[in-house]
Structure 1
Amino acid sequence: MIFARDLVGHIATALAADGLILRGGFRFADGEAAPAGPSGAPAKSALLVGQAGAAPWPHFQRWLGQQASGIANPLDTWSRAVIGAVAQGCGARAVSPSDRPYLPFQQWAMRAEGLKPSPLGILMHPTYGLWHAYRGALLFEDEISLPEAHEMNHLCDACVEKPCLKSCPVGAYSVAGFAHEACLLHVRGTDGAPCRAGGCLDRNACPYGAEYRYPADVQAFHMAAFAGL
């Protein structure tokens, strides 16, 4: 058994082997409707797991090359396997953003790291910009020691130009929200080749966290998954 004082460090080390990182954590309040922990009792603590930039990509690609062709939702499958193995080793229950019924991952992320949504809906990180993701969470039935929380500046508040709302050819993102169908039609059509090859033009227009920007092949993978290509 891992001693509580060593738990977070052990988890971080285990996740790093596959390019993943801890993304903060929080405790469920007394009386809060918390999801079940590993035994089925309500969880008391949560640690979020994710990535900064494309660090997990080579690990995922290596795993994918060993799987049968045509595997459905491969990145979700890989993430569940990696985070699930870590959960087994530390007495936690692993959950995923794509689990049904959906868990409030974005609310959890804002709670754990103090982030706010960008105009694109993606949470803005003061270091990673829009180039980060949450791949799962570890739920514990004990009140564990959590990573130190830091106050985060919301970069979008100081961004006057808002290039993220001006680069899409069909204006898919606006203050009115996301025009999902217009985006899909464009990405799947003849004029959507730049989006298919290099990712969302609005997202790429954001100046923050450029050093963490996903490479074109990673963005193309996510765009194909989004558009069902």
Structure 2
Amino acid sequence: MVALPEIEAALAAHHLALLGGFAVDPGDEDFPSGTRTLLLIGPGGPGYWPHLKAQSEWDGAPDPVDRWSRRVIGRLACDLGGKALFPFGGPPHRPFFSWALRSGRCWQSPVRLLVHDRQGLWISFRGALALRTVLDLPSAPNPCESCAAKPCLTACPPGALGAAGYDVPACHAFLNREEGGDCLTGGCLVRRACPVSASYARMPEQSAYHMGLFHR
């Protein structure tokens, strides 16, 4: 039976991290047959981006991050006797948002985006591992409950992201202007404003890449 430290070590070799998980009831038809634990997998710190860019998938063809995720997480799933599930490739799309809320390590933030206990509003998932093994997974306190200032609510210059949710057209309109350059090159100011995000060393280059895809 594989243990959690072994899984985390296997992920760390690819600069990935275990970001949470939960027990799955036997017979739950929303998961592959026999699944007892679902593990949520994402980038594992500042080393993730240069590592990914050094891989064979970074070849100028479309979707290098998704192709790399399929290869790496798919192989890990096979090694563990499980199945890999991904947030891309739909429709239909896997419900990663609701899965994250079940993990006890992610919550809906005041701006309605997911917030993670260690990665803050930078949280993102590259895949999930559906395993037949029952694992004891840790939970964590919601960081938003102890955040008195809640700077995420006022960080968006055009007010496109706040307590009312996300006004995507307003966001794109702002990014089209010169003032939006900081968001494009350094990542969303709301995500950066989160105190937990500030303690998570995500490379601006990684954020710029994904902002570029978002604002094509």
Shared fold per TM-score greater than 0.5: yes
Contact 1:52 1:132 in 2 (8 A): no
Give the distance between the partners of 2:154 and 2:122, measured in 1 at CA. Answer: 19
Check if 1:16 corresponds to 2:12: yes
- The structure-2 alpha-carbon separation of the partners of 1:82 and 1:125, relative to structure 1 and needing over 3 Å to count, comes to same
Q: Please list every run of 5 or more consecutive structure 2 residues that lacks an aligned counterpart in the other structure.
A: none
Displacement of 1:180: 0.7
Check if 1:214 corresponds to 2:202: yes
User: Alpha carbon RMSD of aligned pairs, Å?
Assistant: 2.2
Quote the residue 2:104 is aligned against.
113
Quote the residue 2:78 is aligned against.
88
Quote the residue 1:75 is aligned against.
65
Please list the CA deviations of residues 136-160 of structure 1 after superposition, one character each: whole Å capped at 9, or x if unmatched: 11113x3x1314323x222222333
Contact 1:24 1:146 in 2 (8 A): no
Q: Percent identity?
A: 36
Contact 1:57 1:218 in 2 (8 A): yes
Q: Which amino acid aligns with 1:129?
A: G
- The structure-2 alpha-carbon separation of the partners of 1:109 and 1:7, relative to structure 1 and needing over 3 Å to count, comes to same
The number of residues matched between the two structures is 215
Contact 2:21 2:40 in 1 (8 A): yes
Quote the residue 2:52 is aligned against.
60
Displacement of 1:67: 4.0
Displacement of 1:60: 0.5
Quote the residue 1:32 is aligned against.
28
Q: Please list every run of 5 or more consecutive structure 1 residues that lacks an aligned counterpart in the other structure.
A: none
Give the 3-state SS of the residue equivalent to 1:91 in structure 2.
coil
Please list the CA deviations of residues 90-143 of structure 1 after superposition, one character each: whole Å capped at 9, or x if unmatched: 211111111321111122122123421112333223333223322111113x3x
Higher-Rg structure is 1
Quote the residue 2:130 is aligned against.
139
Find the partner of 1:202 among 181, 190, 200.
190
Displacement of 1:181: 0.9
Give the distance between the partners of 1:149 and 1:157, measured in 2 at CA. Answer: 19
Which shifted more, 163-172 or 110-119?
110-119
Give the 3-state SS of the residue equivalent to 1:170 in structure 2.
coil
TM-score, normalised to structure 1, is: 0.83
Contact 2:15 2:45 in 1 (8 A): no
Contact 2:36 2:134 in 1 (8 A): no
Contact 1:34 1:44 in 2 (8 A): no
Q: Which amino acid aligns with 1:208?
A: V
Give the distance between the partners of 2:206 and 2:58, measured in 1 at CA. Answer: 19
